[in-house]
Amino acid sequence: MTDPVMEVESCWSESAARVLLGRIERLLKRAGATANEPVALMEVCGTHTVAISRFGLRSLLPDSLRLLSGPGCPVCVTPLIEIDRSVVAAETPGTIVVTFGDMMRVPGSRSSLEGARTDGADIRIVYNPMDSLQIARQNPGHEIVFLGVGFETTSPTIAATVVAAEREGLGNFSILPFFKTVPGALDMLAGIPDRPLDGFICPGHASVIIGANAYEPVARNRNMPCVVVGFEPLDILSGIEALLQQVAAIRTNQGDAKVEVRYKRAVTDEGNVAAQELLRKVFQPCDAEWRGIGIISGSGHDLSERYRRFDARERLLLEVAEPVEQPGCICGEIMLGRRLPTDCPLFGGECTPRRPVGPCMVSTEGSCAAFYKYERDVA
């Protein structure tokens, strides 16, 4: 029999939402969840973070379910030393730094890219990485440095830009590789012993590229339920229902964790094979530092040997001092799901979207920015 909820998929329907909320409440009871010992689910996608806050989903769900925001914002997890390195690159004579706009206001140890531009650095904002090649063509006497920030959603387009630069023979183009990958972070989060976590709301956009099968090791080795979810309210509620079905089965010894896709209109098990091949051609896996979290093994992308000459770190020999974190900021604890944005002593006072102290308040996909805009009066 066809499920009427699944038929409507992303379209909003009050009746479908009520059906899902009823199912969620029953599954929580079956799992033995209470307000004191809730089921904890984590989304690791900035777009999900914003959607959950924007649609007020926390207010619709029982107290026996806790939604946590993980490190799903690529700007937020870019380590402080790399922000400092970007500023140093921008201040280097003869260099033009090119970046996505949401990197501009991320605080570094002593300045931000926005501050460096105010002081005279040539920093340009683009929406498409390929635009940086046009800047390189127009400025042959300058070194063009593109800031390679993003998860698997954006890294293929930057990889394609590097390939195009090689094909064209552009000798004045390079990148600073700050790339992060999702599966390694999920494995790390699932393995933290002192913080209960019952399942992952897996990202929709990144999963289009890497495919649902990328989460199989996390589900299998950590016995951690994983469900790929879209971004509309019913998408998210449907994903929560699917996760709770697994949680209840695990807690009653009636099943093990698995990967499920509740976003089949966009995500397949295999993902975008061509994009994956491009990533393997241009990049190679590496250990990566995540801001406020530390080193996560195999969670980054570095340039492969063939394309190493496009690494701005080697071409410019950028010297960066030891980074200095802002006192009082708890972005790392928030991205690990240990604290909520409203737990931060700086939230809404010293730290606001107009005057951000930490990266989670800078990006529109940051959990602090989402809470400030949609939930600060109800949290």
First to last CA, the chain: 40
The pLDDT value recorded for residue 201 is: 98
Q: Is 88 within the bounds of a domain?
A: yes
The pLDDT value recorded for residue 216 is: 98
- Give this prediction's pTM: 0.91
Counting the structural domains of the chain, the total is 1
Q: What type of residue is 31?
A: A
The pLDDT value recorded for residue 33 is: 96
Q: Is 322 within the bounds of a domain?
A: no
Q: Is 305 within the bounds of a domain?
A: yes
Give the chain's residues under pLDDT 50. Answer: 1-2, 4-10, 379
Q: 96, 121 in Cβ contact below 8 A?
A: no
Domain CATH number, residue 142: 3.40.50.11740
Q: Is 147 within the bounds of a domain?
A: yes
Matching residue, tokens 């102290």: 357
Q: What type of residue is 360?
A: C
Range of the domain at 173: 75-181+271-316
Q: Is 210 within the bounds of a domain?
A: no
The pLDDT value recorded for residue 193 is: 84
Q: Is 249 within the bounds of a domain?
A: no
Q: Is 15 within the bounds of a domain?
A: no
The pLDDT value recorded for residue 7 is: 42
pLDDT digit string, tens, across residues 302-336: 999 999 999 999 899 888 889 988 889 999 999 99
Q: Is 14 within the bounds of a domain?
A: no
The pLDDT value recorded for residue 379 is: 46
Q: How far apart are CA 338 and CA 17, in angstroms?
A: 29
The pLDDT value recorded for residue 378 is: 55
